[in-house]
Amino acid sequence: MAINFKGRCLLSLNDLSSDEVLLLLEGARVWKQQFYAGNKPPVLKGKTLGMIFQKPSTRTRVSFEVAMHQLGGQALYLGANDLQLKRGETIADTARVLSRYVDALIARVYAHQDVVDLAQYATIPVINALSDYSHPCQGLADLFTILEKKGTFKDIKITYLGDGNNVVHSLMFGIAKVGGYLCVATPKGYEPNAQVVALANAEAQKTKARIEIVTDPIKAVREADVIYTDVWTSMGQEAEHDQRIQIFKPYQINAQLTAQAKSDALIMHCLPAHRGEEITDEVIDGPNSIVWEQAENRLHLQKALLVQLMR
């Protein structure tokens, strides 16, 4: 497939066409195979990735850094508090300057507009490493993990339970691009962003995907092949934590709830997990949990992405 990614940005999974998503999933498969064969071809030798983080990260930071290292390039961690951004230098000026030093940027931000501004003023590719709106690298790795385990997106039901947040937004865009069935169950008032629902549904019409938004967690998990959750309190929402744990209780993935799904329903979580809140130990540590492979797949998927954008 000849697709030109060079110089592009990835701010939302909806920026990609269905063919581009499928190409990245295939790339992840190949890079994973290479990894297990012990091959680390230095295809990004001499390239530098700048990594701006306004919020903490374990998986995203380490998987991008290791990916660059294994591809022969290097990564620079740029904590937002250590940059002149902290003292009022604008995002636009930061983007203009960093574009003259590094070959691509990833940015984890509170407000999505920050990564949009960065992309607007940078002259190099910019990748959203999580914003309050979306988490496209997570969404792509999730699709890859589902495809790896199930072999297809057709005729399987993926259920997401919990908060209508950045992670489910990317999952919705992703499923809409590849043509699967995603049932999202949230409490009233915590549904995914209405604009994301409309955009995902518009894409879903083209691929015959089905995106359902419901409130009943028990009905949502019935017949599910995959059950996915994320934290109830995202970074930046800490003040709402006590209220949220009360409201989201019926959406906890525990043995009682998973008993309503297919007996082999896979359990996914983007991590970090708040054990005892959105998921119980018995489920996350249980035989159907694929959360560690899901986390590993961030590395393989991001290699595919970096090579497409930077080579």
User: Does 166 help bind ligand NVA (rule: CB under 6 A)?
Assistant: yes
Spatial strand order in the sheet of 157-161: 210-214, 181-185, 157-161, 226-229, 266-269
Cα–Cα distance between 218 and 227 in angstroms, integer? 12
User: Does 59 help bind ligand CP (rule: CB under 6 A)?
Assistant: yes
Picked from ligand CP, ligand NVA, none, the partner binding residue 165 (CB below 5 to 8 A depending on kind) is ligand NVA
Q: Could you tell me how far CA 160 lies from the centroid of its own chain?
A: 14
Active-site residue (options: 230, 252, 300, 302): 230
Binding mask 86-125 vs ligand CP (x if CB under 6 A, - otherwise)?
Answer: ----------------------------------------
User: Does 291 help bind ligand NVA (rule: CB under 6 A)?
Assistant: no
Binding mask 228-257 vs ligand NVA (x if CB under 6 A, - otherwise)?
Answer: --xx--xx----------------------
Residue 163 Cα distances to 22, 84, 170, angstroms:
27, 34, 13
Stretch that binds ligand CP, among 52-60, 69-77, 146-154, 277-285 (CB under 6 A): 52-60
Least distance in angstroms from the C-beta of 271 to ligand CP: 5
Q: For this structure, is 137 an active site residue? A: no
Alpha helices for 208-290 (secondary structure H): 217-221, 241-248, 255-258, 281-284
Distance from the first to the final alpha carbon of the chain:
16
Nearest residue (beta carbon) to ligand NVA? 234
Find the binding residues for ligand CP in span 228-247 (CB under 6 A): none
Residue matched to tokens 């998973």: 258
Token duo for residue 230: 């994320």
Cβ proximity to ligand NVA, 58 vs 123, nearer residue: 58
Q: Could you tell me how far CA 203 lies from the centroid of its own chain?
A: 18
Active-site residue (options: 270, 294, 300, 302): 270
Cα–Cα distance between 284 and 202 in angstroms, integer? 34
Active-site residue (options: 138, 252, 294, 308): 138
- Collect all residues with Cβ–Cβ distance below 8 Å to 10 and sequence separation of at least 6: 16, 125, 126, 127, 128, 136, 137, 305, 309
Binding mask 122-161 vs ligand NVA (x if CB under 6 A, - otherwise)?
Answer: --------x-------------------------------
**Which residues sit at the interface with ligand NVA, rule CB under 6 A?**
130, 165-167, 230-231, 234-235, 270
Active site residues: 108, 135, 138, 230, 270, 298
